[in-house]
Amino acid sequence: MLQGVHDNYDVDLFKDLIAAIKAELGQPDSETTPSHRVIADHLRSSSFLIADGVLPSNEGRGYVLRRIMRRAMRHAHLLGAETPLMHRVAPTLVKLMGDAYPDLRRAEASIVHTLKDEEERFRRTLGRGMTLLEEATAGLAEGDVLSGEVAFKLYDTYGFPLDLTQDAVRAKGLTVNLDEFDAAMTRQREMAREAWTGSGQQAAAAEWFSIRERLGQTDFVGYDNTEATAELLVLVKDGQEVEQAGVGETVQALFDRTPFYAESGGQAGDKGEVEWDGGKGRVLDVQKQAGDLHVHDIEITEGRLAPGARAHLMVDAENRTTTRANHSATHLLHAALRNVLGPHVTQKGQMVDGERIRFDFSHGGPLTADEIDRIEAEVNAVVRQNLAAETKNMKPAEAIEAGAMALFGEKYGDTVRVLTLGKALTGEGDYSVELCGGTHVARTGDIALFKVVSEQGVAAGVRRIEALTGEAARRYLLEQAGVAKGLAEQFKVPVAEVVARVEGLQAQARKLEKELADAKRQLAMGGGGGGAAAGPEEIGGVKVLARVMDGVGGKDLRPIAEEFKKQLPDGVIALVGVAEGKAAVTVAITGSATAKFNAGELAKAAVLAMGGQGAGGRPDFAQGGAPDGSKAQDGLDAIKAALAG
C-alpha cells in the first residue's frame, strides 16, 4: 500500500531480488513468471532459516528447509539454469535486508556455502531420479498411468515434488496415479505419528513441570564447589513420585541445591556419589527437567532414601576436571576453526565429557592435514598462554553487543554467563568470547594439551572433529609413537624412515598388482583361464566373441574387453568373469552391431540368468554382477540367446 502497488511481489525488495535472479539467468528483460517469484520467496525463507542455524537434512526442521530449497531449485531448473543459481543471488538478498536483519550479514558466508552445496547435491539427485523415472516409464505407452508408488519414491527418496514428476511424464503422454501417491503419503504420515507418540516422554515432562511449579528451581552451586549438603525434595520412579527407595533401585532425585552439573549446552552431566544418614548411592547422570531442575539419576547401594533426608553430594572431581578442560577446549577449537577455515564456520552440536570432545561444525568439505595442523597449533598456543578464564553475568543482548558469540538453537535466560578465554594471537582483543553456562577451567593452561584424533562428515555441510586434552591426549600421542616405533623395528629402519619404507612397499604392491593384471589379460586373450574357443562365432548375423574367464574379477574385465575390441572392430564381445565365487559380466558392442543390439540389455539378461538384479552402462558398453559364479555359463548362454533373437 505504501509503495502504491497491488502485489506483494511488486514491492522494491522483491522487484530487486527478481531482477537479480533474471540477471544471473541471462534473462534481464524477460517477463516475470511464477517461477521467478517462487525462487525469490523461497530464497528469502531459506536464507533466514540458515542464518538461524538450521541446515538441510532428512528430518525435522532441516527437512522443511530442504523441501523449501528444492522447490526453488526445481523452478530454477524450469527456467533453464544450467549451474547452481541461488547462492549467486543470496548476496543481493543480504544487501537488501541485511540492515534490518543483521543476522543475515553475520551468516552470509554460511548461507552462500549451504545454498551452493545443497543445489549441487540436488542436481546429482535430479540425475539419479530422472534415471529411475526413465526406467519406470520405459515400458509404458502414450496414455498409460505411472504408478503412484514410483512417484512417491521419487518424492520421498530423491526430493522430487509431485509436479516435477507430472511434468516429466506429461511430455510422454503419461499421467500419475494420484490415488496411489496419496495412499503412500498417508502411510508415511501415520508411521511418523506413531514414532512421535510412542515414547511416553510427554507424561514424564508434565510431571516435572508440576514439581517445578510447586518447589521452584534448583540452586546450582557447582561453579565453585564439587561438594555440598542438600535436602532431598522429591523422588521419582517410572515417571511417578514415590515415598522411598531401597538398595538396588535407580531413582530420579531432586535436591534443593546441588554441585552436580546437569547435561546441557553439549556438556555431559556430572557423576559422583551421595551419602545420607544410613545410606549411600551412586550418581549415574544428571539431567535438566522443566528448564532449571537438576534431576539426579541415583543407584542406591546402601540403606533407604526418602524425601526430607539431608544428603552430602560429592561430584567425581577427576571427571569434572577433565570435562572442564574438554569443554573449554571446544571454545578454543571453535575460534580456531573460524580463524583457519573462515567465518562461515558455526557450531552445529557438541558433546563433551570426561573422556573426549566431539564437536560438529558447518563446513563444506574434509579438512586437509595442513588445516588440522594449523587448528591444533592455534589451540595449543592459547593453552600455553596460561591466562585466567574470565566469566561475567550479563543480559544476552548486552553480551552479544559486546562481541560474545551466541549459539543458534541454544536457549538463553534473562542473564547469561559470558566466558572469555585467552588473548588474540595476532592483533588486539580476546581469543574466544562465547555465551556458555557450562563449567570451565580456571586458566587456559589447565587444558595442558589439545590433540585432534579424527575428522569426518556427519551430514550435508556438517563436519565432526573428535579430540582429546591433557593426559588422554598425552596417552594417545604415546600410543601413536609406539606404533611408529614398532614399524621401525619391524622394517629395521629409523622411525624417521618408516613413511618412506611404507611408500616403497605400496609402490611395490601396485607394481605386482599391475603385473598380475597383465598376466591375467594375456592369459585371457590367449584363450586360457577357462575361456572358450579363441575365435569369434556368428550369432544372429553378427560376429560374437563370448568367453567365461575363471579367476578374473569385474575390474579386470574392462581392459580385456578393450583389447578384444581391437581384434573385433565390428561385433559383440561378451565376457563373464568368475572370482571369489561371484560373477561379473562385461558386454562391448563395436561397429555396425551398435545399431542392432544394446549392451545394457545384453548384460542385464546375463545378470538375471546368474541370479543378479541388473546391469548398467552405455548402449555400446555395459557391466553388471551376480552372486553365483557357478552360473557363469548360464549368463553367457543368455547373451547368446538374446543375440539369436
Residues 303 and 337 occupy one common structural domain: no
Task: Report the CATH number at residue 381.
Answer: 3.30.980.10
Task: Provide the 10 A C-beta neighbour count for residue 163.
Answer: 13
- The C-alpha cell that represents 18 in the structure block: 527478481
The verdict on residue 192 lying in a domain is yes
* Residue recorded with cell 543480504: 94
Residue 378 in any domain: the answer is: yes
Same domain for 86 and 140: yes
Residue where a domain terminates, one of 283, 315, 347 = 315
Domain assignment present for 511 = no
- Beta-carbon contacts of 465 under 8 Å, excluding residues fewer than 6 positions away, are 333, 337, 357, 358, 359, 361, 367, 452, 454, 455
Distance CA 508, CA 359 (A): 39
Domain boundary among 298, 315, 332: 315
| Domain membership flag for residue 487 | no
In this structure, is residue 92 part of a structural domain?
yes
What tens digit of pLDDT does each residue of 322-357 get? 999 999 999 999 999 999 998 888 888 899 999 999
Whether residue 222 sits in one domain with residue 170 = no
Instruction: Looking at the structure, tell me whether residues 128 and 276 fall in a common domain.
Output: no
- Inside any domain, residue 602: yes
Give the count of beta carbons closer than 10 Å to the beta carbon of residue 34.
Answer: 10
- Say if residue 156 is in the same domain as residue 251: no
Same-domain check for residues 310 and 342: no
CA angle 502, 506, 507 (to 5 degrees): 120
In 495-635 the beta strands, taken as DSSP E runs, fall at: 537-539, 542-550, 571-579, 582-590, 615-618, 621-626
Angle at 193 between CA 178 and CA 181, to 5 degrees: 10
**Same domain, yes or no, for 173 and 71?**
yes
Where do we find the cell 534481464? 28
Range of the domain at 560: 527-644
CATH assignment at residue 569: 3.10.310.40
**Residues 15 and 68 both lie in one domain:** yes
- Tell me the Ramachandran region of residue 404: left when phi exceeds 0, alpha when psi lies from -120 to 50, beta otherwise: beta
Pairing of strands 145-146, 175-176: parallel
**Count: domains in the chain:** 4
Residues 86 and 173 in one domain: yes
Residues 131 and 15 in one domain: yes
Q: Which of 139, 86, 137, 136 is nearest to 114 (CA)?
A: 86
Residues 122 and 267 in one domain: no
Q: How far is CA 113 from CA 125, 461, 486, in A?
A: 18, 8, 44
Last residue of a domain, one of 264, 290, 315: 315
Residues 549 and 430 in one domain: no
Any domain includes 1: no
In a domain, 211, yes or no: no
**Nearest by Cα to 153 from 162, 166, 144, 163:** 162
pLDDT, averaged in runs of 10, over the chain (645 residues): 84 89 88 89 93 80 86 84 89 92 85 87 78 81 88 79 80 88 85 53 70 91 94 91 93 95 92 96 94 94 94 96 96 96 87 94 90 97 96 80 62 76 92 91 96 90 93 95 92 91 92 81 60 69 89 84 88 91 92 89 91 85 90 91 87
The CATH number linked to 236 is 2.40.30.130
Reported pTM:
0.64
